[in-house]
Amino acid sequence: MLSRIIIDHSVKTVLMMATGVTIFITLGVITSILFESVQFFNFVPLGEFLFGSNWSPHASTPGHVVGHFGAFSLFLGSILITLIALSVAGPIGIFSAIYTSFYATPAMRNLIKPVLEMLAGVPTVVYGFFAIVCVAPWMRRLGLTVGLDIATESAIVAGLVMGIMIIPYISSLMDDVLYTLPQSIKDGSLGLGVTYGETIKFALIPAAFPGIASAFLLAVSRAVGETMLVVMAAGMSANLTINPLQPVTTVTVQIVSMLTGDQSFDSPQTLAAFALGLALFIITFVFNYISQRIIKRHQSQHDGH
Amino acid sequence: MVIYTPACPAGTRPPKESKPKFSVRDLDLFYGSKKALSSVTLKIPQGQVTALIGPSGCGKSSFLRCLNRMNDLNPLARIAGSVFLDGDDIYAQGVDVVQLRARVGMVFQKPNPFPKSIYDNVAYGPRIHGLTKSRHELDAIVIDSLQKAGLYKEVSDSLEGPALRLSGGQQQRLCIARAIAVSPEVILMDEPCSALDPVATAKVEGLIDSLRHQYTIVIVTHNMQQAGRVAQKTAFFHMGELVESGDTGNLFTNPKDVRTQGYLTGRFG
Amino acid sequence: MMDIDRIPAPLKGPQVTRQLARRHRADMRFRLYGLISIGLAFSFILLLMGTLIIKGWPAFIRTEIKLPVAFNSASTPQDQENYDRLLNQFIKKPLSEGAYDNKSLLPLLSAQSYQQLRILLVDGNPLNKDVHFKASSEVDTWLKTRRLNVNKHALTSLTPPQLDALYALEKAGRLCFAFNHSFFTRGDSQEPEIAGIYAALIGSLMTLSVAIVFAFPVGLGAALYLSEFAPRNKFFELLEININNLAAIPTIIFGLLGLAFFLNILKIPRSASLAGGLTLGLVILPIIIISSKTALKTVPMTIRFGALALGASQVQTLFHHILPLSMPGILTGTLLGIVRALGESAPLLMLGMVAFIVDPPKSLLEPATVLPIQIFVWAKNPTAGFVENTSAATLVLLLFLLLLNSIIVLLRRRFERKW
C-alpha cells in the first residue's frame, strides 16, 4: 500500500516536471527575446525603430552603432506580402470551403479535403524553390508582355506563392466551422422558400462569421511569420514601397539575414534581430489570441442554445 | 382509407371553401430501402387547422415534409404518388421548389431563429424575395408579422436585439412571425410546442387558432390533447399508413379503426 | 402600419418567374465559384508537383561512358597523372583518328573517374573489359538535352572537338544512362553531378531523433499532467492558452530562443545537430502536447469512473486504461510533429546549419545540415545542374512526408474508435 502511494507520488512528480519544462520554455521564449530587445532599445529609440524608414544595420560593429535601424519599411513589406497573399487565398479558400461543406457529396468531400490539406503539408522551403524556379520567371515574362518590369525577387511573387500556401489554412478551418453549423439554420431558411445559395450567403455564412474571422486571423499570423518563402522570393533590400512589382524585405527576412554569418552575439545586428523577433512575437500573439477568443466565444454561444 | 368529407362540428366555423388546399394521392415515401409512408391519400382543407397525430416514428413528420418538398434535401429520400396544391402537382417536372416553399411555409420542432437580430430574422424572407421596395414597407411587414405572431408587444423595444436571447416560447413565435412575413398560403408546423413549457405552449396554441382564418395550417403533434384543442381536422398515422382521418371531434369520440381506438385510449403510443 | 391585404402575394405571376430565374442563375454562379476555386487549388498542386517532377527526375539518372579498359602492365600506376593518361587511352580507343588531345577528352569524364580506375586496378592484375565511367556534368546535360528533351535553353560549354568525340561515342553505343545512386550516397559538392543528399539525410535523421527524444517524453508528460492531474485554476488556464499560442507563433522565434539559449548559454557548437534537434523539439512540443491532450480527452469519463470504482488509483487508471486507449491518438500527434520537424528549416538557419557539409556528421556536436536546408542552399546556387538536384531533393523530401502522412492515415483508420 505504501509503495503504491510512493509510485503515485513519483509519477505525479515526473509529470509535473514535464509540465515545468513547458512553462520554462514559454518563459524562456519571452525572456530571451525581451532581454536582448531591451539592450537594443538602449541605443535605438523605440520611435525610430517603429517609424524610421532607413534600415541599414550592417555598418555597425559591437559597441559601435553607426547603422540605421528604422524598421518601418520591413513592417510595410510584411504587410504588403500578407495582403497579396490574403487576396489570393481569401476568395479561393472561402469558396472552396463553401463547396466542400455545402455542395460536395461525402465522397467528393473525402477526396477534396485531403488534397487541399496537402498544400499545407508542403514545407515552405519547397514553396520558396517553386517561387524561384517557376512563378518568378513566369511573372517576369507575363510582365514583359504587358510592358511591366517585374523584378525576379518581388512582393507579388512572394505574395502569390504565399497565397497558395495559406489556402488550406482558410479553407480547412472555415470548412470545420461551416460543416458543424446546426442543420436547423439550413432548414429554417430553406423552409422560407430561399434558394440554397441564398441560404448559404445570408443565413449560414453570417452564422459562421466568427469562425471565418478567426480562420483569417490565423492565416494572417501564419503569413506574417512565414520565413523561408520570403527569404527566397522577396528580397533582402529594404525598400520603402508599396509597389508589389518591386523587391521588398520583411521582418522575418531581416531576422534571418542578420543572424546568418558569424555575428558575435552582442553585435547590434543580433540585438536588432531580437527586437524584430519581439515585434513579430507580439503581432502574431495578438492575432492568435483574438482568434482563439473568437472561437471560444462562438463555441459557448452554440452550446448555449 | 377514410377521406375527409366536409362537415361542421358544433363550435367551429364552417370552412369558407370546400375545395381542398392539398390533395395527396397514393403517396409512398422511401428512405433508401426503408419505406416510411405507404399509399397515403388525404385531402387537407383550406382555412382550417389539420392535425397529424400518431406514435413517434409513424411517418407523420415525414408526411409533413413531403408537402413542401423538404424531403428533397435528403439524398436518400424517394417518393411515388402525387401531391396537389390548389390542383397543381408539386412533384411535377418544372416545379420550382423555392417558389413552392415560399407558398408553403414551415415551423420546426425546435425553435431555430437565425443568429441575427429579431428584426433581421423576420425581414430575412421578404428581403430575399424582394417583396418590399423601401425600408418603410419592410418595417411594416416586420411589425405586422410580429403582431400577428403575438410577439410584438414583448419585443417592440428590442427589435435590434439578438434573437437567440429570447425565451424558447418567444423564439418559436418569432419563427412563426418569420414564416408569416413571406405571406405563405400554408404553414406547416412540425411539433412546434414539443420544446416549450406549458405557458409558452398555450400562447403558441392561441396563436395557431388566430392564424387559421388567414392560412391553411397543418400541424404535427404527438400530443392528442393539443390536436383536440387546436385542430378542426385530424389524421391518425400508424406505421407509415394513414389509418383514419376526419373531423377532430368525430375522430376522438368515435374512432372507426381499432388502431385509432388503441392509440386514443393509450393502449399504445 | 400597412394593411395586410396590401402585402403582395409573393411568388406568382410572370414577373416572379423572371425574378426566380434570376435567383436560380445567381445560385448556379455561386456554386460555380466554389468549383472554380477548388479547380484553382488543385491546379496549383499539379503545377507544383509537375514542376518538381519535370525538373527533378533527370537528377535521378546520370550519363555514363562505357570505356574499353585494357590493362596489362605489371606495375599499377601511382599518381593521378598516370591514371588520367590511361583513361585518355581508353577513351581514344573507340574513336577513329581525329584531332583529339588529352586536354579535350579527359573533361568528358567526371573529375573522380581516376579514383574509380585506381580501385579497379589496385590488385595489379591484367584487366580487359568494358567499364562504365561517370560522365562530367556538361556531358550529362548535353545528353539529357538531346535524349530527354529537358533544359532546352541550357548553353553548353563543350568545344567542337569534344562534341565530335561525343557524337562518335554515341554512334559506337558507348554513351548510356544509369541510375544515379551516388545522389543518395554522397554529400554536398560544388559539382552538381557529384553532389548528393546523403549528408543531409543523415543530418535530418540525427536532428529529428534529438527532437523526438526531447519532445516526446516532455510533451506526453505535460499532456498527462495537464489533462489528468492539474488543478483547475487560473494558472493552468493561462498555461493552456500559452501552449496554444506556442503552437501558432512563427518558428523563427524558436530559432531566436535556440540561438540565445542553446548556443549562447549552453555553448553547444554552431551548426551542431544537437542544437538543431533541441530547437525543433521546442517547435513540435506544443503540437505533441495539444494532440496528446485531445487524444486523452476522447477517452470517456465512464472508463475512468469504472476503474476508480474498482479501487484502482489515479495513476493505475492512467497507465492501465487511459494511456493504452489513447496511444494511437498520441502517436498520430507525434507523427504530425515529426512531419512538421522534417520540413522545418527557418529556425535552423539561425543556428548556422547552412554550412557546406560534404561528410555526414559522426556525432551530435559536429556540423550538420538537414534536407530542407540542403534544398535551400542548392536553390540559391546559380550553377546549371543544381536546379535538377534541388528538385530531386525536394521530391525525396516530399516522398518522406507522404510516407509519414500515409502512416498517420493508416493509424487513424486502424484505431478509429467511436465511443
ipTM of the complex: 0.88
Please give the pLDDT value at position A1: 59
Q: Exposure pattern of B141-171 as b/e (b: 16+ CB <10 Å)?
A: bbbbbbbbbbbbebbeeebeebbbebeebbb
Q: Check B114 against A194: CB less than 8 A apart.
A: no
In angstroms, what separates the C-alpha of A208 from chain B's closest C-alpha? Answer: 9
Q: Write the residue in B96, B137, B183 that is nearest to C10 by C-beta.
A: B183
A-chain residue closest to B171, CA distance = A305
In angstroms, what separates the C-alpha of A47 from chain C's closest C-alpha? Answer: 23
A198, C23 Cβ separation under 8 angstroms? yes
Confidence of residue A242 (pLDDT cuts 50, 70, 90): confident
**What percentage of chain C carries pLDDT values higher than 70?**
91
Beta sheet of C127-134, edge-to-edge order: C127-134, C61-71, C175-179
Confidence of residue C400 (pLDDT cuts 50, 70, 90): very high
Q: Which of residues 9-68 of C touch B (CB under 8 A)?
A: 9-11, 16, 19-20, 23-24
Q: Check C243 against A22: CB less than 8 A apart.
A: yes
Confidence of residue A262 (pLDDT cuts 50, 70, 90): low
Q: Write the residue in A198, A207, A301 that is nearest to B114 by C-beta.
A: A207
Please give the pLDDT value at position C2: 39
Choice between C138 and A111, residue whose per-residue pLDDT is larger: A111
Please give the pLDDT value at position C318: 86
Residues C325, C328, C330, C331, Cα dihedral to 10° = 150
**pLDDT tens over chain B, length 269 residues:** 344 444 444 444 544 446 788 999 999 999 988 999 999 999 999 989 999 998 888 889 999 999 999 988 888 899 999 999 988 899 988 888 888 999 999 999 999 999 899 999 999 999 998 888 889 999 999 999 999 888 999 999 999 999 999 999 899 999 999 999 998 999 999 999 988 888 889 988 999 998 888 899 999 998 888 999 999 999 999 999 999 999 998 999 988 899 998 888 887 76
- Side-chain half-sphere exposure of C179, counting CA atoms within 13 A: 3
Cβ contacts of C20 on chain B, cutoff 8 Å: 96, 98-99
Reported as a single tens digit per residue, the pLDDT across A174-199 is 998 899 888 899 999 999 989 999 99
Q: Please identify, in words, the CATH class of the domain defined by A69-304.
A: mainly alpha
In angstroms, what separates the C-alpha of A78 from chain C's closest C-alpha? Answer: 13
pTM: 0.85
A131, A229 Cβ separation under 8 angstroms? yes
| Residue from B122, B128, B141 to probe the interface with A (highest A Cβ count within 10 Å) | B128
In angstroms, what separates the C-alpha of A16 from chain B's closest C-alpha? Answer: 43
Please give the pLDDT value at position C10: 46
Q: Check C379 against A129: CB less than 8 A apart.
A: yes
Please give the pLDDT value at position A293: 85
Neighbours of B6 (CB within 10 A): 14
**Residue pairs between chains A and B whose CB atoms are closer than 8 Å:** 75
- The CATH code that applies to domain B38-90+97-264 is 3.40.50.300
Answer whether CATH 3.90.226.10 is correct for domain C198-415.
no
Q: Which of A234-243, A258-267, B202-211, C105-114 holds the top average pLDDT?
A: B202-211
Confidence of residue C36 (pLDDT cuts 50, 70, 90): very high
Please give the pLDDT value at position C233: 87
- pLDDT of residue A63 exceeding 60, the answer is no
Mean pLDDT score, C349-355: 82
All three cell numbers of C326, joined, read 489513447
Choice between B151 and C173, residue whose per-residue pLDDT is larger: B151
Distance CA C303, CA C318 (A): 10
Q: Which of residues 198-257 of C touch B (CB under 8 A)?
A: none
Instruction: Tell me the one-letter amino acid at C150.
Output: V
Average pLDDT score over chain C: 83
The domain locations on chain C are 58-116+127-180, 198-415
**SS3 for chain B, per residue?**
CCCCCCCCCCCCCCCCCCCEEEEEEEEEEEECCEEEEEEEEEEEECCCEEEEECCCCCCHHHHHHHHCCHHHHCCCEEEEEEEEECCEECCCCCCCHHHHHHHEEEECCCCCCCCCEHHHHHHHHHHHHCCCCCHHHHHHHHHHHHHHCCCHHHHCCCCCCEHHHCCHHHHHHHHHHHHHCCCCCEEEEECCCCCCCHHHHHHHHHHHHHHCCCCEEEEECCCHHHHHHHCCEEEEEECCEEEEEEEHHHHHHCCCCHHHHHHHCCCCC
Q: Check A202 against B112: CB less than 8 A apart.
A: no
Q: Which of A20-29, B55-64, C34-43, C63-72 holds the top average pLDDT?
A: C34-43
The domain locations on chain B are 38-90+97-264
